[in-house]
Structure 1
Amino acid sequence: MDPTAWQLWLIAAIVLGVMEIKLSGFVTLWFAVGALMASLMAGAGLGFNSQLVVFTLVSAALFGASRTLFKNVFMRDAVHLKTGAEAMLGQEAVVTEALAEGHGGTVRINGELWMARSLSGPLPEGERVTVEQIEGLKLWVRRPSASHEVALQPVRQKKENASWD
């Protein structure tokens, strides 16, 4: 029994489908569907070049559409996971070295010590503060109950106006 083009495409679709089950990438499924469509086109009598075009177009279209589909349908309610310095904004820290007016100290946040400056006046050791802004390796903190009497300046202006750097 001599295999014809549609049988070869069908075997390719089955192999790619099995690979999809075994692998965790969710990629080969679209190539399996493309091979299945090429098999149908071969069965309908289209030439080999037409079969390749159908395989390529179907696979590429499904591959491209799957990212959009998953992002817009399945991930629409997903929350952006904050990591690194971005995750510290709004978090609570504990003053480990008093923060004096015009001078920095240190705070402990997530088990790490960070240099800090106060936006709400002097802060004694042991006081709980909230991280308001991050400038390089310095945290700008304030008492959680403090009103926002000191407006936060953009980082560039702080560096230009700061005399303690």
Structure 2
Amino acid sequence: MDIDAWVWWLIGAVGLGIPLVVTAMPEFGMLSAGAVAGSVTAGLGGGMVAQVLVFAAVSVALIAVVRPIAARHRAERPQLATGVDALKGRQAVVVERVDGSGGRIELAGEIWSARSLDADQIFEPGEHVDVIEIDGATAVVM
């Protein structure tokens, strides 16, 4: 049984797609697309040299064009703050007097232990404060 060249290219494309899924390296996907292009060339009757040239040209073009665009999009994506990092810089309301040794604030709908950044600074109930950092389970405010 003789297998046509276009089938071998498709087998190669699937073979290159497997490491793409396992390693999440997009370059394998670009090489796989090049193999599909080689398969199309073989199916249209192109010779082996044409098939290899199309595979190489499509693969190199995709890597040269798509990788920089993807890297630029990845770099421009804003980082999403989660957990305690999302609380830094937010405003809170003093529930129980806050000074350098402690107190309580309402932050993001929850009651938190708090202390003032400056040990001499005192905040009374009802005042708005800014959360500077989270130290364990205590919000440091000013």
1:72-87 correspondence to structure 2 within 5 Å: 72=72, 74-87=73-86
Distance 1:82 1:63 in 2: 31
Normalization by structure 1: what TM-score?
A: 0.53
Percentage identity across paired residues of the two chains: 31
User: Contact (CA 8 Å) 1:9, 1:36: kept in 2 or not?
Assistant: no
Pairing of 1:1-165 with structure 2 (within 5 A): 3-5=3-5, 7-9=6-8, 12=10, 30=30, 32-39=32-39, 40=41, 43-45=46-48, 58=59, 66=66, 68-72=68-72, 74-100=73-99, 102-120=100-118, 121-142=121-142
Q: Distance in 2 between matches of 1:76 and 1:111?
A: 33
Distance in 2 (alpha carbons) for counterparts of 1:84 and 1:97: 24
1:99-138 CA-partner distances (Å, limit 9, x unpaired):
13x4201111111222110125111112110011222221
2:48 partner letter: G
Name which structure has the greater RCO, CA cutoff 8 Å, separation 6+: 2
Q: Structure 1's 129 and 69: CA in aligned 2 closer, same or farther, altered over 3 A? A: same
1:117 is matched by which residue type in structure 2?
R
State the TM-score, normalized to the length of structure 2. 0.60
Given the superposition, is the C-alpha separation of residues 78 and 104 from structure 1 closer, same or farther in structure 2, using an over 3 Å criterion?
same
CA distance in 2, matches of 1:113, 1:69: 45
- Across the two proteins, how many residue pairs are aligned to each other? 120
When you count strand as a share of all residues, which structure comes out higher?
Answer: 2
Q: CA deviation at 1:32?
A: 4.1
The one-character-per-residue Cα deviations of 1:51-79 (angstroms, maximum 9, x if unpaired) are: 7xx78xx49x957985553121x344432
Structure 2: state its 5+ residue gaps.
15-23
SS across alignment from 1:30: helix
SS of 1:139's equivalent in the other structure is strand
Q: Which has the higher helix share?
A: 2
Aligned CA RMSD, in angstroms, stands at 3.8
Letter matched to residue 89 of structure 2: G
Residues 9, 37 of structure 1: alpha-carbon distance in 2 compared, 3 angstrom cutoff: farther
Structure 1 pair 83–36 and aligned structure 2 pair: CA distance change class (3 A): same
Gaps of 5+ in 1: 17-24, 143-165
